[in-house]
Amino acid sequence: MNVKVELNKDIDKVKKIISDYFLDKRIKIEEEDYGSRYIFSMTPTKNKSSSKKDFYTTVTEMILEIILNIYSKDIITKRVSLDKTDLKADEKEEVVEISKEILLDKENFGIEKEYITNQIKDYIMDSSLINIDGFIRFRLKELEYFIDVVIEKGMEEFNAEKEYKEFIKILQYFVEVQEPKHDLVNLVFQDKSYKLLDENDNLIDSDFFTDIISEIDSEGISKDDLLVSSLIVIAPKKLIVHLDEKHKDKEIVKIITSVFQDRVYFCLGCEKCNGQIKIKKGK
């Protein structure tokens, strides 16, 4: 019972993957260096029939990780370079990185990864040597179709992020052109709402928000939309955000931080937020 894996790239990364998979297992690992190519030989030190299934399962998972972590980026880069000619060089790089992250997420593409896993396992059960380059090129042609699907998902995320950045720039512009109505505003998050306090801890008049709603299309407006709109109209010189662990990862906090940038400060704990703050700016 022995499997040899032959490949020709990122040998140090491959060694790390192999080491991680067989760290606590009784497997003898030998390396053969042929200059431009490397062969890793794996043999169980105890040839028990009961461990045969586990051995081949572990080797299969290891090979899958090598393919996804090391070989997939070159495939993704090539496909993006050839197919996404309307993108700039830096945009292509961003799509490649996003696509790879999507691919490596264990929650994504379970069916496709299971198919590849079965193909790998069937191969190494029949042959003791797997040349990964040749296996991908001649026995795993479906990988290219799979990668195309991954790239399209990457493009969707890239476009969504691009639209988000453009949206934030527009809001930043509105803030810059507004005359500040308060030097300082405290934003205090509550269970399902929030309140805005001025520099003297006085509640900012609720009639103010009513006026804002009357000036914008209020159909379907959410509390978060109203909050952002209110803050943009107020355009405080300094915005102190008070929130606890429950609220710190909310999307609205990310938007406010992006829009108001250096004007935003996070409270580290006070009477307004009950001393429950465990967040710093930028986290």
The SS3 assignment for 149 reads helix
In a domain, 68, yes or no: yes
For residues 105 and 20, state if they share a domain: yes
Q: Enumerate the H helices of 23-131 as residue ranges.
A: 49-66, 72-83, 89-104, 110-126
pLDDT at position 17 is 94
Q: What is the pLDDT of residues 202-217, one digit of tens each?
A: 888 655 555 555 555 5
pLDDT at position 281 is 40
Residue 226: band (very low, low, confident or very high) from pLDDT cuts 50, 70, 90: confident
Please report, for the chain, how many H helices and E strands are present, in that order.
10, 8
Mean pLDDT of 189-213: 74
In a domain, 194, yes or no: yes
For residues 45 and 160, state if they share a domain: yes
For residues 8 and 114, state if they share a domain: yes
In a domain, 42, yes or no: yes
Position of tokens 């200059």?
35
pLDDT at position 117 is 95
Proportion of the chain above pLDDT 70, given as a percent? 87
Q: What is the pLDDT of residues 65-93, one digit of tens each?
A: 999 999 999 999 999 999 999 999 999 99
Identify which has the larger pLDDT, 217 or 159.
159
For residues 81 and 185, state if they share a domain: no
For residues 123 and 245, state if they share a domain: no
Residue 260: band (very low, low, confident or very high) from pLDDT cuts 50, 70, 90: very high
pLDDT at position 276 is 43
Lowest average pLDDT, out of 78-82, 93-97, 125-129, 139-143, goes to 139-143
For residues 33 and 151, state if they share a domain: yes
Q: With 90 as the cut, is the pLDDT of residue 258 above it?
A: yes
- Which residues, in sequence order, are CB contacts of 151 under 8 Å at separation 6+? 76, 79, 80, 83, 84, 95, 99
**What pairs with residue 188 in β-bridges?**
195, 242
Give the Cα separation of 238 and 235 in Å (integer).
9
In a domain, 276, yes or no: no
pLDDT at position 139 is 87
Give the pair of three-digit tokens for residue 24. Answer: 């606590």
Domain boundary among 172, 200, 223: 172
The values of phi and psi at residue 30, to 5°, are -120, 145
For residues 152 and 45, state if they share a domain: yes
Q: With 90 as the cut, is the pLDDT of residue 153 above it?
A: yes
Lowest average pLDDT, out of 25-34, 115-124, 246-255, 256-265, goes to 246-255
Lowest average pLDDT, out of 14-23, 48-57, 122-131, 169-178, goes to 48-57
Domain containing 84 equals 3-172
Q: What is the pLDDT of residues 17-70, one digit of tens each?
A: 999 998 877 888 999 998 889 999 999 887 665 578 888 999 999 999 999 999
Tally of domains in the chain: 2
